[in-house]
Structure 1
Amino acid sequence: MDLAEPVNVTEVMFIKNPPLLSGLQGCRRFQSSAVGYSTMLLEADSERLFVGARGAVFALNASDISASSALTIEWEASPEQKHQCLLKGKDNKTECFNHIRFLQRFNSTHLYMCGTHAFRPLCAYIEKFVMSSQPEEGRDKCPYGPTTGYTALMIDQQMYTASQYEFRSFPDIRRNSPSPTLKTEDAPTRWLNEADFVGSALVRESLGSSTGDDDKIYYFFTERSQEQTTTYSHSRLARVARICKGDRGGRLTLQKRWTSFLKARLTCSLPEYDFHFNMLRSMFVMPGLTPQDTLFYGIFGLEWKNVKASAVCRFSLSEVQEAFQGPYMENQDSGSKWKEYTGKIPDPRPGTCITDTLRAKGINVSTSLPDDVLNFVRRHPLMSRQVQPLDRRPLLFRRTTDYTHMAVNVIEGLDGRTYHVLYMGTDEGWLHKAVEIEGKLHIIEELQLFDEPQPVINLLLSAKQMSVYVGYPSGVVQLPLSSCHRYTSCYDCVFARDPHCAWNGAQCVDVMAQADRSTLVQDIQQGSKGCENTEYDVVARSRSVRVGDDVLLQCELSSNLATPLWTLDGSELQGYGLNSGFRTGTDGLLIIEARQDQSGLYTCFAVENNIKVPTENPYSFFLLSPRNMEAIYLSLITILGGLCVVLTVVLVYVGFCLRVGNRGKYSLRAAASAYPNCKRHNRNRKHHRNSSQMELKTISSHCNGNGICNGVSKQHNGDIQEGGFLQIVPGEAHSSPNMELPPPAPPLPPTPQHPSPECDFPNGLSATLPSVLRRMKGNSYVLLRQSESESTSPLCYSFAEELNKILEKRKHTQLLPRPDESSV
């Protein structure tokens, strides 16, 4: 390796971001003038996070990526190279740049990186974060384009890659350097058919092997289907392929070609609906205690590009091995008709690695394999048996969400069980945290990472730093693996079922930070035990409203999985029909044209896991008759008149003082501000999801066309005073712009029943009354937004606006479909 003088090293200062909101506490960010942070390498020992972007490579502090400065190597294509790229017909805004596609450790002193370099790939070595060699040819190591499917591994200073390397070339799996270089076969049977690679993994199956087995490299991709039969009707299918690390090719047959290449189909489907997810988007490899315990977690999508849906399936290494030990498929008539091969299989078995059994027969390397075995491998790369998920169905099926990348962490709960916690990024910049429980995924939280939607393009975990790193087009985000402080009560902490968190009697704490865990409360399996003796500080508040007014008692649920339950004087409210005088939604209880017999103590409970938990302070109010109202109005007018008289006297006195002697100065601002105006236009306070107080709102029917209501309302700093008359001005609620809905999507299978993100009525009706928490249609325990101002979805109306429509029209509400995502 030729090590030259340092080339083009500078230092980049990190760009500070605005203050983080409560939902993103503990978040750190790194940004620079570069874009496309698609490649990341985490080295726990050196506490360094290396990030490859467009035209630059960065070295960040893994414990805090937002530290004062970050080292960078600028590596951009020259103007001449960009011009040549433009002449080739490529995009001058996206493609004619040097996108870093490969960045891994070469040895103990050097890193190795490759970039597209304006459609002329180059690679180079890095030593002490300095480009230590002149760039070398990277055509066989790196794809030409920034979006071409690509995966690569550096194993024992040998580079294994898989991609479509040139514009019109076939996809290929290669070992590039040092020799011998190997690749896949394309004739007479093409081993890869328009393959789009998403990942690869080394599994050292030689460790502890009793047969002298070799290590394997597994590749994951989606390709055009070769099984054009009545059984396989899909145009593209998900695959797993395998090669042996010690493969050296054949001597004459399959010379410089893999002799161990085999591939099989990965299935991820809902069998009861015959519904298949065929597009593999991402794969995460979870090592086990032994190589045989290795698990593969995959994100699958649909072939339809205009339909958003995702499924998460996991596969075991033993299932993959069984598929490669099963029957082969055979291509007949050199066409697309494939069927299971039933003829004689040569010995040794084609596609296997060199083992002690073969060595005993004098076959020590693949170049010693017989020609009949190699010819069979050339014509039979596809296996007949499909690789089924470990759970025989998806861990999670979710509509309206496209997951892009995933990482998995293992943690031991207080019950002694081992739990897999998944972190999944979406195409719109959300991070979903979920825990696998008995073959199902329970989504713990959904976190919005950015103000504007940006796709997650990379995801890494660090158990040492207790952090998750998210790469996106304009930067990198670092988040803690858990934020237990978000759960403010025992039930919040236990219901979340986060293996990282437990209740210590006073607050929700991180389990890993506690030396004494004997008193901690945690229930991941059921999410319901341990808080039975919790006491609540309940304080009832009284309000008075007029007979005939429409009253909204708000009840904001902190959990997306909870349903509201209302009681009146301790008895559950029964019936919410159109004639009952009550309407309920996830935001609260609407009392329509309040009557005297509806006075009393109203309490809202959150029902989850068959447990009732009071959500807010109980609310008691009593109704006033018109006669009482007249007396109150007269009293108010008398009080206001007296205030006006006092104010007049003060003004006369001040004027007199100013005229006599001018012995001092007196500010009228204080006097004027000390008294409320006789007429005041009140706007509704915005109700945030984290508000600790329940608001009572009345929607008055005594309003004119301009939205000005008769009557007087007294407020102080936005808080409603005791005994005040509350009014909501119709039409002043925050409304969302009207947007045209997308065309109808192909039908998706129904999802199992669980609490609806829309509001459900006990009588089976659903009304368009979404809450702030549920408007994103999440089935997570808690959903946190990046910006508090984004309280409405462009496709949803606010609850208050919808209630006003109900009050104006007095018509049946629109029916909405059942929830469109769930854990399966």
Structure 2
Amino acid sequence: MIFFSTHIGECLSERMQEARPLASQLLLLSCLCVAASGYPFRPPLDLDVTPRVTVLISGVQGSRRFQSSTVNYSTLLLEADRERLYVGARGAVFALNATDISANPAPSIEWEASAEQKFQCLLKGKDNKTECYNHIRLLQRFNSTHLYMCGTHAFSPLCAYIEEKRFVMSSQPEEGRDKCPYGPTTGYTGLLVDQQLYTASQYEFRSFPDIRRNSPSPTLKTEDAPTRWLNEAEFVGSSLVKERLDSSNGGDDKIYFFFTERNQDYSGTYGQSRVARVARVCKGDRGGHLTLQKRWTSFLKARLTCSLPEYDFHFNMLRSVFVMPDVEQQEPLFYGIFGLEWKNVKASAVCRFSLAEVQKAFQGPYMETQDSGSKWTEYTGKIPEPRPGTCINDALRARGINISTSLPDDVLEFVRRHPLMSHQVQPLDKRPVLFRRTTDYTHMAAHVVQGLDGETYHVLYMGTDEGWVHKAVEVQGQIHIIEELELFEEPQPITNLLISTKQVSLYIGSPSGVVQLPLSNCRRYPTCYECIFARDPHCAWNSEECVDVVAQANRSALIQDIQHGNRGCEKAHYDVAQKSRSVRVGDDVLLQCELISNLATPLWTLNGKELQGYDLNSGFRSGTDGLLVIEAQVGQSGLYTCHAVENKIRVAIVTYNVTIVADLPPAPPVDPASTLVVTQSRASEDTSFERTSLEPPSLLLTPSKYLSPKNMEALYLSLITVLSGIVVVLAVVLVYMGFCLQVGSSGKYSLRAAAAAYPRNNKNKKSKTQHRHSSHLELKTISSHCKGNGICNGMSKLHNGSMQDLGFLQIVPGEGHTSPSRETPPPAPPLPSTPQHPSPEGNHPNGFAATLPSVLRRMNGNSYILLRQSDSESISPFPFADELSKILEKRKHTQLLPIPDESSV
């Protein structure tokens, strides 16, 4: 519903402003039809995939973790042959053991921005908590002995070389403005190919995005005029695709860049404001001779589409890509994670593309535009020769064109004005392989696994914005999510994913640390059916347990069914949990059934027959917790079995032998000397219930044994004793109440007298304080024991000197709020300081703690300190006045609630 309201609001606000009245009505009708049909969240059932198993962080097994004092572990470089995982974080680089990243010690390089750099970053208006640090954005292998890294360096990028053997910076940092973005969150991708650095980002402050080759010379970049090749591009990845050795045309290696950019045809009424793109440049490009000097001559770009064709709905935001490693005899493929343009709506789609389709789009027609403000249309004119944007190949070499600087000017001028291709790159199967409505995927990785059936399967690992990893397998063009794993206590986005088949591990980067997981955990599946239902290419059943296929030398007896997930366990034996329940007629009983799989549905049978219907009159309710038998009857006794139904296979999970009894067995004889209370118990397997009832003696005592004169006399004496005790207690209560009433009438602790005393002595105050729910009530209790001593004299001066010289107890307000309808009372004047006198009791220098204890009560936000006056006349008045002055000084700024609760007094 959130998505519907958001979509309708944008649809009405953006499109009805420019429409005429009739068009507005038609548009409103179409928007309502969209909401009624559930657009776009009514995909086919095979697309909105649910993870089969959910594993919380407490159940994740085999994980290893690395953390340090820094944050933002977003840049990972895996070198499996060297068994190293290099990690770039904020202000530091680490060299971890790829076999076990938690092994210590881990070599590191500290590379923080200086205090002056951070200060300059602050002057630029940047955030000193996130941006004004040195975030490592590039970490690549440079040669056999050195690594190369670049960091934002508090919005002043720098790059440096790392000597791998000693793991130290081998030279002073060099300028990195053309190699690294300024900020830690700017879209960026970089590759080092044969010591040439290819990067794509928005480099300089307020500059345009650009694809560059920085070193060695010649440096190349994209064109800005007359046609801008990139429009607010946000880069997410890049990949080198080498030309095959058996290629017949002798083509050049190509570098592909993936990004999302502003749609140049977007007018605010129709279409998407941003679109996903793929761009390509040739590795051997050297720019043009006169035209396109120091510019790419091979730059072309095309649109990547990932949509639900049934609704013509496009996922136009490209978040991440993963290019499958080159596998012999297979077409190069890559997966893309796409999202929605609306940031407040969670949804993700995974589309699979073929690089052959990308190359086919680059061989198709071009698009053209007359100027920067006009729309792009397909170019229908003559295309010059050789074809613009083509990499140098054998055909061009045969014509004497061995380098891009030899290309004709008309070809280069055409390239400058026609960077966009007309054909869009469609995904395989023309639709997403995965769609999730409530998940935002951030990064992914994949590898190829061969199943026992001889087929090759793509196993995908996808990270979410909340710190989960989904493991999935692609089967016949569709995704089956094997499991979802929670990796962090606090939700946080996954920023990188890498796979190592040599270490059989998955490495996950995040803001708080790096996590290493095994590629599979087959021991999670205890039975044959659980192992088969998982459809994990890594796992198989060996007649005893679910094992890792790679670790098995003899695979002939292993059972695995990835295509269907339901075959092979027909003869397997497994244990079914057996429990018993015994309940009384009319009671409710819950039979619990916990299903491991999110894809399974429960099915209950009674004595081997399936329970049909769960309506109001059936006596049963079925839910996720189990089966509820309502007001059980004797006829409902029997053997209940809970089955998990998955992939058309029914597997018994637990059985309950339920016994429903009409009456409980007779109670044993009760000893009259011990009790007259009979306790009856009805127990089930897990919970016991007790009923206690008091029965007349005639029902519990037999005349022949217990109604003798001696026993009756003892019974009467006991009853008389109990009744006498009750009379004594009532008498004490009545005496106490009478005493309290007498005290109230005399005024010793009278609340009414205290409430009336204040306005008599403060004539300038309004009569609002006379109400017992006054917003600033100060209660004073008249003391009958005040002898006119110094205590009363000292306290009579607390309120502007207007109090009479009477003994009273002051209740000091605290912890409240001042009412706006009443002025704040003036603070108490300072009392004269006098030497301290010894306490008669000796517990406190001024005797306050011993003879005048304070009692604190807190109710409904009000607190009070009650000072009880002692009858002793030997206490010196001044120490108590000093102590009272201290208390009032601490509370002179304390406020009361608007309506104090009189029970707090």
Taking structure 1 as the reference length, the TM-score comes to 0.74
Question: After the TM superposition, which of the residue ranges 331-340 and 102-111 deviates more from structure 2?
Answer: 331-340
Matching residue of 2:464: 426
Cα distance, 1:46 vs structure 2: 1.0
Residue type at the aligned position of 1:407: A
1:516 aligns with 2:554: yes
Check the 8 A contact 2:679/2:690 in 1, yes or no: no
Counterpart contact for 1:543–1:621, Cα < 8 Å: yes
The equivalent of 1:35 in structure 2 is 71
Q: Residues 173 and 568 (structure 1 numbering): CA distance in 2 closer, same or farther, change over 3 Å?
A: same
Give distance in 1, aligned partners of 2:372 and 2:576: 78
Computing the radius of gyration from Cα coordinates, the structure with the larger value is 2
- Equivalent position of 1:90 in the other structure: 126
Alpha carbons of 1:536 and 1:387: their partners in 2 closer, same or farther (altered >3 Å)? Answer: same
Task: Work out which of the residue numbers 214, 221, 227 in structure 1 matches 2:252.
Answer: 214
SS of 1:211 mapped into structure 2 = coil
Q: Is the aligned partner of 1:337 residue 2:375? A: yes
- The residue type equivalent to 1:568 in the other structure is L
Q: Which residue of 1 aligns with 2:194?
A: 156
Partner residue, 2:220: 182
State the distance in 2 between where 1:615 and 1:90 align: 59
- Is contact 1:552-1:698 (8 Å) kept? no
1:201-236 deviation line (CA, Å, top 9, x unaligned): 000025322111000000000000023479971000
Q: Distance in 1 between matches of 2:171 and 2:427?
A: 45
| Aligned positions, number | 634
**TM superposition shift of 1:22:** 6.0
Map of 1:560 onto structure 2: 598
Q: How much has 1:106 moved relative to structure 2? A: 0.2
Query: Which of 97, 116, 125 in structure 2 is aligned with 1:61?
Result: 97
Partner of 1:721: none
Aligned to 1:620: 657
> What residue is the counterpart of 1:753 in the other structure?
none
Q: What is the rounded CA distance, in whole Å, between the counterparts of 2:681 and 2:521 in structure 1? A: 42
| Correspondence for 1:23 among 49, 53, 59 | 59
CA displacement at 1:703 relative to structure 2: 12
On the 8 A contact 2:680/2:690 being kept in 1, the answer is no
* Counterpart for residue 480 of structure 1: 518
Measured in 2, the distance between the counterparts of 1:301 and 1:703 equals: 62
- SS of 1:234 mapped into structure 2: coil
Aligned-partner Cα distance in 2 for 1:241–1:342: 22
Tell me which of 134, 142, 166 is aligned to 1:106: 142
Q: Which segments of structure 1 move beyond 6 Å, counting only runs of 4 or more? A: 229-232, 641-645, 678-682, 695-704
Aligned match of 2:493: 455
Corresponding position of 2:342: 304
What are the Cα deviations for residues 754-793 of structure 1, in whole angstroms up to 9, with x where unaligned?
A: xxxxxxxxxxxxxxxxxxxxxxxxxxxxxxxxxxxxxxxx
Q: Partners in 2 of 1:556 and 1:643 — Cα distance?
A: 49
Q: Does 1:289 align with 2:317?
A: no
Aligned to 1:236: 274
- State the one-letter code of the partner of 1:33: S
Q: Is the contact between residue 600 and residue 645 of structure 2 (CA under 8 Å) also seen in structure 1?
A: yes
Answer yes or no: is the 8 Å Cα contact 1:566–1:602 preserved in 2.
Answer: yes
One-letter amino acid of the structure 1 residue matched with residue 189 of structure 2: T
> CA separation of 1:22/1:92 partners in 2, compared to 1, >3 Å: closer, same or farther?
closer
| Distance in 1, Cα, partners of 2:199 & 2:287 | 16
- Residue 65 of structure 1 aligns to a residue whose secondary structure is coil
CA distance in 1, matches of 2:581, 2:403: 87
Q: Which amino acid aligns with 1:159?
A: L
Q: Secondary structure at the match of 2:99?
A: coil
The equivalent residue for 1:504 is: 542
Q: How does 1:715-726 map to 2 (within 5 A)?
A: none
Question: What's the counterpart of residue 446 of structure 1?
Answer: 484
Q: CA deviation at 1:290?
A: 4.8
Deviation at 1:623, TM superposition (A): 1.2
Q: Distance in 2 between matches of 1:45 and 1:332?
A: 53
Does residue 406 (structure 1) correspond to residue 424 (structure 2)? The answer is no
Q: Confirm or deny that 1:536 pairs with 2:536.
A: no
Normalised by the length of structure 2, the TM-score is 0.68
Q: Cα distance, 1:571 vs. partner?
A: 0.2
Q: Distance in 2 between matches of 1:700 and 1:579?
A: 26
Amino acid at match of 2:284: G
Helix, strand or coil at the partner of 2:397: helix
Deviations 1:248-291 (A, max 9, x none): 00011100000000000000011011111000000000033359
Question: Pairwise mapping of residues 370-769 of structure 1 onto structure 2 (< 5 A)?
Answer: 370-538=408-576, 540-616=578-654, 618-625=655-662, 628-629=663-664, 631=665, 634-635=667-668
Alpha-carbon distance in 1 for matches of 2:200, 2:317: 17
CA distance in 2 between partners of 1:225 and 1:296 (Å): 23
Change (3 A) 1:643 1:353: farther
1:598-648 deviations in whole A, cap 9, x for unaligned? Answer: 1111000000111100112x10111122xx23x36x25x96xx89999xxx
Please state if 1:200 is matched with 2:238: yes
Larger RCO, structure (CA 8 Å, separation 6 or more): 1
Map 1:791-802 to 2 at 5 A: none
Note the alpha carbon deviations across 1:712-757, whole angstroms, 9 max, x for none: xxxxxxxxxxxxxxxxxxxxxxxxxxxxxxxxxxxxxxxxxxxxxx
1:267 — aligned with what? 305
Contact kept, 8 Å, 1:292 with 1:318, in 2: the verdict is no
Cα pair 1:545 1:698 within 8 Å, conserved: no
How far apart in 1 are the matches of 2:361 and 2:355?
Answer: 10
What SS is found at the alignment partner of 2:428? coil
Q: What displacement does 1:701 show? A: 12
Q: Quote the offset at 1:680 in angstroms.
A: 14
Q: 2: distance between equivalents of 1:282 and 1:458?
A: 10
Q: Is the 1:553–1:696 contact (alpha carbons within 8 Å) kept by the matching residues of 2?
A: no
Compute the displacement of 1:541 (Å). Answer: 3.0
Deviates more, 1:122-131 or 1:590-599: 590-599
Question: Are 2:288 and 1:250 equivalent residues in the alignment?
Answer: yes
Deviations 1:293-348 (A, max 9, x none): 21111100000000000000010011000000000011124423111110100100
Structure 1 position 360, deviation (Å): 1.1
Q: Deviation of residue 167 (structure 1)?
A: 2.1
Q: Residues 405-429 of structure 1, C-alpha deviation per residue, up to 9 Å, x if partnerless?
A: 0000111000000000000000000
Residues 423-432 or 284-293, more deviating: 284-293
Contact kept in structure 1, 2:384 and 2:411, CA below 8 Å? yes
Counterpart of 1:218, as a letter, is Y
* Contact in 2 for aligned 1:434/1:443 (Cα 8 Å): yes
CA separation of 1:681 and 1:329: change in aligned 2, threshold 3 A: farther
| Of 576-585 and 149-158, the range deviating more from structure 2 | 576-585
Query: For residues 260 and 224 of structure 2, what CA distance do their matches in structure 1 show?
Result: 17
RMSD of equivalent CA atoms:
2.5
Instruction: Extract unaligned runs of 5+ from structure 1.
Output: 1-19, 646-677, 685-694, 705-824
| Mapped contact 1:549–1:592 kept (Cα < 8 A) | yes
1:166 partnered with 2:204:
yes
Quick one: which of 153, 166, 191 aligns to 2:229? 191
Code of the aligned partner of 2:90: R
Question: Matched residues in 1 for 2:673 and 2:257: separation?
Answer: 82
Asked if 2 retains the 8 angstrom alpha-carbon contact of 1:124 and 1:134, the reply is yes
Aligned to 1:723: none
Q: Which amino acid is 2:432 matched to? A: P
Does the 8 Å contact 2:495/2:509 carry over to 1? yes
Contact 1:551–1:699 at 8 Å: present in 2 too? no
| Structure 1 position 79 matched with structure 2 position 115 | yes
1:748 — aligned with what? none
Cα deviation, 1:60-91, whole Å, max 9, x if unaligned, reads: 00000011211100000000110010011100
- Give the distance between the partners of 1:241 and 1:226, measured in 2 at CA: 16
